[in-house]
Amino acid sequence: MNFVSSNPLPNQIEAEQSGNILESRVDAYFSADVETDGPIPGPFSILSFALVYAGSFDGKAFSRPQDYHKNIYRELKPISNNFEADALQVNGLDRDLLVKNGENPETAMTEAFKWITKVAGHANPVLVAYPLSFDWSWLYWYFVRFCPNGSPFGYSRCFDIKTAVAVKSKLPISQAGRSRLPNHLIPASRHTHHALDDAIEQAEIFANVFQWEER
């Protein structure tokens, strides 16, 4: 019988202990969005991603940013020849142009790691998305694969806005999509399938959910 350990890998532990994270009780949240050319990382590629500082929480008070100007956006060179035409139609990115001019994943993920840890300071970086599963799987894979320091979010520091909406709205997960958001959670930003626009939209929703008082 093969035994698969649930413990973090050594490089994951090192990533969590690098810099000055894990010692703090404060979370620093980063809203993330990725645009890809297929359903899973490895056989397919991230074409663009964005991360937006979305606030902090010290266990007592949530601090919402005044704006979302603290962000990073990158367009990447594909890592394989595989792609799905439907994915490209959704995000509207020119994959052929990115093959020629896209940033190398090693450079982009290393820069993103440094930016996240700098913005977080002494706080623990936490990745936020709506829903989380897609963006987390891509970014975690890319950080571990291409960044020498691994993931700035460790192997599990993440927050699923969809789950939070489902719990607070008393809805099944299947009915907790953006189209069912209560009016007081709807953001001013639009969902455009541009990674930076969508990361900002998510950051607004996240802050609205975090500050949602029972009515």
**What local confidence, expressed as pLDDT, does residue 23 receive?**
63
SS3 (DSSP) at 78: coil
DSSP 9: P
Q: Say how many domains are in the chain.
A: 1
CATH number of the domain bearing residue 68: 3.30.420.10
Return per-residue pLDDT of the chain as tens, 215 residues.
Answer: 333 333 444 444 444 444 444 567 899 999 999 999 999 999 999 999 999 999 999 999 999 999 999 999 999 999 999 999 999 998 999 999 999 999 999 999 999 999 999 999 999 999 999 999 999 999 999 999 999 999 999 999 999 999 999 999 899 999 998 877 888 788 777 777 899 999 999 999 999 999 886 54
Instruction: Please report whether residue 150 resides in a domain.
Output: yes
Intra-chain end-to-end CA distance of the chain, in Å: 52
Looking at residue 212, its pLDDT comes to: 86
Helix, coil or strand: residue 75: strand
Residue 22 pLDDT: 55
For 164, the domain range is 25-210
Q: How many CA atoms lie within 13 A of 16 on its CB side?
A: 13
Instruction: Supply the pLDDT for residue 19.
Output: 43
* 3-class secondary-structure state, position 117: helix
Note whether residue 11 is domain-resident. Answer: no
99 in a structural domain: yes
Buried b (16+ CB within 10 A) or exposed e, 185-209: bebebeeeebbbbbbbbbbbbbbbb
- The neighbouring-strand residues paired with 48 are 35, 75
Phi/psi of residue 113, nearest 5 degrees: -60, -50
122 assigned to some structural domain: yes
Q: Which two tokens stand for residue 148?
A: 């020498």
CA 51 to chain centre: 6
Task: Specify if 9 maps to a domain.
Answer: no
Under a CB-based contact definition with an 8 Å cutoff, are residues 12 and 150 in contact?
yes
Give 30's strand partners. 53, 127
- Position 38 in a domain: yes
Report which DSSP code applies to 4.
-
Residues for the chain: how many in total?
A: 215
Establish if 16 belongs to a structural domain: no
The model's pTM is 0.86
Do residues 210 and 196 lie in contact, with contact meaning Cβ atoms separated by under 8 Å? no
The answer to the question of residue 20 being in a domain is no
Separation between Cα atoms, residue 185 and residue 208, nearest integer Å: 5
Which pLDDT score, from 0 to 100, does residue 2 have? 35
